Amino acid sequence: MGRGLIWAAGVLVAAFLLAPILAILPLSFSAGSFLFYPLPGLSLRWYRDFFGSDFWLPALWNSLVIGGAAAGLATVLGVPAAFALWRLRGALRAVVLGVVLAPMVVPVIVVAVALLLAFGPVGLVATHAGMIVAHAALGVPFVVVTVLASLEGFDAVQLRAAAACGAGPVRAFLRVCLPQIAPGVAAGAVFAFATSLDEVVVALFIAGPAQRTLPRQMFAGLNDTISLTTAAAAAMLVVVSVVLLLVVGWLRRRAPG
């Protein structure tokens, strides 16, 4: 098969991946209200609409707060677990890893309904706390996997050396290990944040109107009338995603090994 043919196919597929996103971004700067081209003119009216509405700005704020807190919780819980898993071997490791990674493969609808029924009676439905706990559980596997990967490049002998110099295990971890795997930890936190920022099904089931996140608000917008304000919101989410992608790329280059 000709190399040229593969190039043509590959570039077409790459275009297919990018085109939908690139196609809607300019629409958010339209001066009109139609969802097609050519644009009748350029304006920021849909962004003004976004910042002036009763719903979008609180949704953005909720996304950042819930995402940040969920990422923090997932990191605080995930890093020590990853450190322990790194040194575990055998069946125990497989079991623990299985539990920790389960949120990645269990269909999110099952998680959403299960949490609705479990959180309802304890008063966690329609609270920020409930959303943070749920999103932290969904984000934890990404923290653990990423930190485990960066621990691969860490030489365990250093910990023994630190111990020989009289450092306690906690001190050894904090002073010797953590600085070296810091980029991995940060990348894990970013992954967890991105997971929360992307999540909509759990939000659909357990968030109340005061916890609406940006994707949840977009879902409502898409269900109702698709206005270009939704396109503006999409554009803002794309920008946030690009920033996160760049941050992870930068962190990865700083990772050891």
Q: Which of residues 13-52 bind other proteins (CB under 8 A)?
A: 13-18, 20-21, 23-24, 27, 34-37
Q: Which residue has the tokens 């968030």?
A: 207
DSSP-derived 3-state class of residue 122: coil
Please select the residue that binds other proteins; options are 59, 60, 66, 97, rule is CB under 8 A: 97
Verify binding: residue 200, other proteins, rule CB under 8 A: yes
Planar angle of CA 145, 86, 94, nearest 5 degrees? 75
User: Token pair for residue 42?
Assistant: 């350029």
The neighbour count for residue 64, using CB atoms within 10 Å, is 16
- Choosing from 162, 194, 232, 251, the residue that interacts with other proteins (CB under 8 A) is 194
Q: Which is nearer to other proteins, 33 or 43 (CB)?
A: 33
> How far apart (Å, rounded) are the C-alpha atoms in residues 218 and 63?
12
**Where in 121-150 is the site for other proteins (CB under 8 A)?**
121-127, 129-130, 133-134, 136-137, 140, 142, 144-146, 149
Closest CB to other proteins among residues 18, 44: 18
Q: What is the CA radius of gyration of the chain?
A: 22
Gap between the Cα atoms of 90 and 97, Å rounded: 11
Subset of residues 229 to 248 that bind other proteins, contact rule: CB under 8 A: 230-231, 234, 237-238, 241-242, 244-245
Of residues 256, 240, 78, 83, the one with CA closest to residue 183: 256
Binding to other proteins by residue 88, rule CB under 8 A? yes
Task: Note whether 164 binds other proteins by CB under 8 A.
Answer: no
Q: Choose, by CB under 8 A, the member of 91, 157, 164, 170 that binds other proteins.
A: 170
Length of the chain: 257
Q: Does 177 bind other proteins (CB under 8 A)?
A: no
- In the chain, the amino acid numbered 193 is F
Which of residues 111 and 189 has its CB atom nearest to other proteins in the complex? 111
Residue 209: alpha-carbon gap to chain centroid:
22
Asked if 201 interacts with other proteins (CB under 8 A), we say: yes
Shortest gap between Cβ of 144 and other proteins (angstroms)? 8
Cα 139 from Cα 152, distance rounded (Å): 21
Shortest separation between residue 217's beta carbon and other proteins, angstroms = 9
Compute φ and ψ for 30, nearest 5 degrees: -70, 145
Looking at the Cβ atoms of 155 and 168, the one nearer to other proteins is 168
Tokens representing 153 are 């490049």
226 binds other proteins (CB under 8 A): yes
Based on the shown chain and the rule CB under 8 A, indicate whether residue 120 belongs to the binding site for other proteins.
yes
